[in-house]
Amino acid sequence: AADAVGVSLFDVRDAPAHLPVGNGRRRAGKRLLTVGTDCSVGKMYATLCLRDAMRARGVAADFRATGQTGILIAGDGVPLDAVVADFIAGAIEVLAPARDDDGWDLIEGQGSLFHPSFAGVSTGLLHGAQPAAIVLCHDPMRAHMRGLPHYQLPDLATCLEANLQVARLTSPDVQATGIALNTVKLDEDAARRLCADTAQALGLPCTDPYRFGADPIVDWTLTCFAPAAPAMTASR
């Protein structure tokens, strides 16, 4: 059918050949990974919003896609759900290699450490990304894990600490730098109150990055990883 009408078909769920096994060696560059309390809570949107907010400040920032829709947006990436488990971490090391331009790789998260179906993918992502920063994404109106009514969502503090603990295997100094809420089902006043309450409870900036902008998270992230000021030396 494609030949008949003169178009090309691209399978964006076809993983690259010859992906390496992850090695966990420390590599240069700053990477931020979005993680979630569940699947489909807005990790891709949050990552794109963070990229745009960084670029608006003149910071070099690149979106690294790990799912089919993200690949269509970015033009390239790795469809992690089509990667054999042993190669997930290595695939992310290839997707976000070392960089020395003081820019950021913003890596689209997948799944959740608390989702029995997809926790393995999330674990491999955390190890391969070797993130300096993570941002936790959450849908506050979600009643249970997507597709699993017998599994409840974790509370935010528990989920955040679990992701930090897993990330520390390859990135011992990883920091949480924000919470991204998907407030599409809340009116604006309720959404703003929830963001403010969540920020106060967790001690991190919280916003709906699509609805209200990603600036609070980006401001804090860039502050946390700003270059250290040179030491002052006494003059004679």
Check pLDDT > 80 for residue 231.
no
3-state class (DSSP) for residue 36: strand
pLDDT of the residue at 227: 78
Name the pLDDT band for 236 (thresholds 50, 70, 90).
very low
CA distance 154 to 169: 22
Is residue 136 within a helix (H) or strand (E), and if so which, with residue range?
strand 133-138
3-state class (DSSP) for residue 218: helix
Check pLDDT > 80 for residue 44.
yes
Q: How do the domains of the chain map onto residue ranges?
A: 30-142+150-222
From residue 170, how far is each of 98, 119, 130 by CA, in Å? Answer: 14, 17, 5
CA distance 102 to 88: 26
Check pLDDT > 90 for residue 217.
yes
Check pLDDT > 50 for residue 33.
yes
β-strands 133-138, 104-107: how paired?
A: unpaired
Task: Give me the percent of the chain exceeding a pLDDT of 90.
Answer: 92
Determine whether domain 30-142+150-222 maps to CATH 1.10.10.60. Answer: no
**Sheet of 61-64, strand order:** 61-64, 104-107, 30-36, 133-138, 175-181, 206-207
Q: Which residues pair with 105 in a beta bridge?
A: 31, 62
Check pLDDT > 70 for residue 232.
no
Angle, helices 188-202/156-167, rounded to nearest 10 degrees? 50
- pTM for this predicted structure: 0.93
CA distance 130 to 25: 9
Name the pLDDT band for 233 (thresholds 50, 70, 90).
low
Check pLDDT > 90 for residue 62.
yes
